[in-house]
């Protein structure tokens, strides 16, 4: 992005918001470091709870479509997230589902493997650090002598942003890489032709394996799957070929294979490629082709070595997966 501002061009208005999020996506926006000055040269930030003191009522008072670009990170877990998703949709010309949680449901979406009651029981009654003799559970309304206290309603399931409002673009990653954010931001501020609405931006159309530099051989098969701590990774051979589950075959490239560079297998945060559709189905097929046996019993034993397949293959995508909440 040019650091020389074209003074004839008005600044765009930009918002960054977090729903059910860990804060990592907001930090990834801050991680543009000195480029943040370039961002503020081109954009007025009108709402960003992690960094600036704006109130919801400030956003609610803005004219509709007055925000040019809104990066919404985090999933929709409760009524507050949903209210802000609807408000920001109304106020924004371009709404981007920023990061895996907004894109696919993300890590919070793993809670869809449990019920709301199960989550409340564990968090407020059973956890080792909980002291709650009166078994008080969160209520949306509590009367106290000063008036009524309210809490957002905790929904029975976690939803990605597009289950609640129309989304213009999806930027994958947990979190998206800062370089790709700057690329997409540049596209928007320079008025370049944007891809069709509904597109995934800041990522590749191809699978991560296509960009990964680890050595792959033609027909390598394995007799055993390991947890990462069970073997010494040689640092250069494809993880799957060493018997370590890596979600590269089912995952979009574009992150610069950053986990692989750190000698950790991919956990699929860029989401499935267009062809993969369902990351779990694609990973089952990838695992199937790696198994070195034709014996049904032995195949079963080898498959059983893949620990927590649902939590691994759907690490960031359970709420958007074809299986959805039909999983036990
Ligand atoms: S996508 Fe990852 S970094 Fe971003 S909010 Fe979700 S869990 Fe955090
Ligand atoms: S499976 Fe993982 S390690 Fe192997 S090529 Fe694909 S991304 Fe690289
Ligand atoms: S290697 Fe996989 S898990 Fe790691 S950043 Fe890239 S897509 Fe995400």
pLDDT confidence of residue 280 = 92
> H/E/C letters for each residue in the chain?
CCCCCCCCCCCEEEEEEECECCCHHHHHHHCCCCHHHHHHHHEEEEECCCCCCCCHHHHHCCCCCCEEEEEEECEEEEHHHHHHHHHHHHHEEEEEEECHHHHHCCHHHHHHHCCHHHHHHHHHHHCCCCCCCCCCCCCCEEEECCEEEECCCEEEEEECHHHCCCCCEEECCCCCCHHHHHHHHHHHHCCCCCCCCCEECCCCCCEHHHHCCCECCCCCCECCCECHHHCCCCCCECCHHHCECCCHHHEECCCCCHHHHCCCCCCCCCCECCCCCCHHHHHHHHHHHHECCCCHHHHHHHHHCCCCHHHHHCCCCHHHCCCHHHCC
Measured from the CB, is residue 43 less than 6 Å from ligand 2? no
Average pLDDT over residues 61-66: 98
Q: Is pLDDT above 70 for 328?
A: no
* Residue 109 neighbours by CB under 8 Å, 6+ apart: 75, 101, 158, 160, 314, 316, 317, 318, 319, 320
Ligand 3 atom at minimum distance from 177 CA: 5
Mean pLDDT score of the chain, rounded to an integer? 92
Q: Is pLDDT above 70 for 6?
A: no
> H/E/C letters for each residue in 50-75?
CCCCCCHHHHHCCCCCCEEEEEEECE
pLDDT in tens, 119-176: 999 999 999 999 999 999 999 999 999 999 999 999 999 999 999 999 999 999 999 9
> Which of 233, 238, 243, 288, when mutated, tests ligand 2's pocket best, judged by the most ligand atoms within 8 Å of its CB?
238
Cα 251 to averaged position of ligand 2 atoms, centre (Å): 10
pLDDT confidence of residue 41 = 81
* Residue 225 neighbours by CB under 8 Å, 6+ apart: 243, 244, 245, 287, 302, 305, 306
pLDDT confidence of residue 200 = 95
Measured from the CB, is residue 270 less than 6 Å from ligand 3? yes
Residue with tokens 């920001």: 88
Of the pLDDT bands very low, low, confident and very high (cuts 50, 70, 90), residue 4 is very low
Q: Say if strands 147-150 and 141-144 run parallel, antiparallel, or are unpaired.
A: antiparallel
Q: Is pLDDT above 50 for 3?
A: no
Of the pLDDT bands very low, low, confident and very high (cuts 50, 70, 90), residue 192 is confident
Rg, Å, the chain Cα set = 22
| Orientation of helix 178-189 relative to helix 35-42, angle to 10° | 20
Q: Is pLDDT above 60 for 312?
A: yes
Q: Are 4 and 36 in contact (CB under 8 A)?
A: no
pLDDT confidence of residue 277 = 81
Q: Is pLDDT above 70 for 78?
A: yes
pLDDT confidence of residue 187 = 84
Give this prediction's pTM: 0.92
Q: Is pLDDT above 60 for 179?
A: yes
pLDDT confidence of residue 39 = 76
Q: Are 91 and 67 in contact (CB under 8 A)?
A: yes
User: Which ligand lies nearest the alpha carbon of 203?
Assistant: 3
Measured from the CB, is residue 282 less than 6 Å from ligand 3? no
pLDDT confidence of residue 8 = 59
Cα 158 to averaged position of ligand 2 atoms, centre (Å): 29
Of the pLDDT bands very low, low, confident and very high (cuts 50, 70, 90), residue 2 is very low
User: Which ligand lies nearest the alpha carbon of 170?
Assistant: 1
Ligand 1 atom at minimum distance from 75 CA: 6
pLDDT confidence of residue 1 = 45
């Amino acid at each position: 992005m040019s650091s020389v501002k074209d003074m004839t061009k008005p600044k765009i208005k930009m918002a960054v918001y977090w729903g059910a999020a860990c804060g990592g996506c907001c930090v990834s926006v801050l991680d543009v470091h000195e480029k943040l000055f370039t961002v503020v040269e081109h954009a007025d930030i009108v709402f960003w709870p992690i960094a600036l003191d704006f109130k919801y009522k400030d956003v609610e008072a803005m004219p509709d479509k007055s925000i040019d670009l809104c990066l919404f990170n985090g999933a929709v877990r409760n009524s507050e997230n949903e209210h802000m998703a609807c408000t920001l949709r109304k106020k924004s010309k371009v709404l981007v589902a920023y990061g895996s949680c907004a894109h696919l449901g993300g890590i919070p979406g793993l809670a869809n493997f449990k019920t709301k009651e199960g989550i409340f029981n564990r968090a407020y009654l059973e956890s080792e650090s909980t002291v709650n003799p009166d078994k008080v559970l969160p209520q949306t309304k509590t009367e106290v002598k000063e008036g009524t206290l309210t809490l957002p309603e905790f929904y029975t399931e976690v939803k990605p942003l597009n289950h609640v409002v129309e989304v213009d673009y999806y930027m994958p990653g947990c979190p998206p890489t800062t370089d790709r954010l700057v690329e997409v931001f540049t596209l928007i501020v320079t008025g370049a032709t944007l891809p069709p609405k509904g597109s995934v931006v800041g990522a590749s159309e191809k699978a991560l394996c296509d960009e990964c530099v680890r050595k792959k051989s033609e027909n390598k098969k394995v007799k055993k799957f390991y947890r990462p701590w069970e073997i010494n990774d040689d640092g250069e051979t494809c993880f799957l070929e060493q018997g370590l589950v890596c979600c590269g075959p089912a995952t979009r490239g574009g992150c610069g294979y950053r986990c692989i560079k750190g000698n950790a297998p991919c956990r699929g945060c860029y989401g499935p490629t267009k062809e993969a559709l369902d990351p779990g189905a694609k990973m089952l097929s990838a695992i199937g082709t790696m198994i070195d046996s034709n014996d049904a019993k032995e195949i079963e034993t080898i498959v059983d070595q893949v620990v927590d397949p649902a939590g691994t293959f759907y690490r960031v995508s359970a709420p958007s997966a074809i299986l959805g909440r039909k999983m036990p």
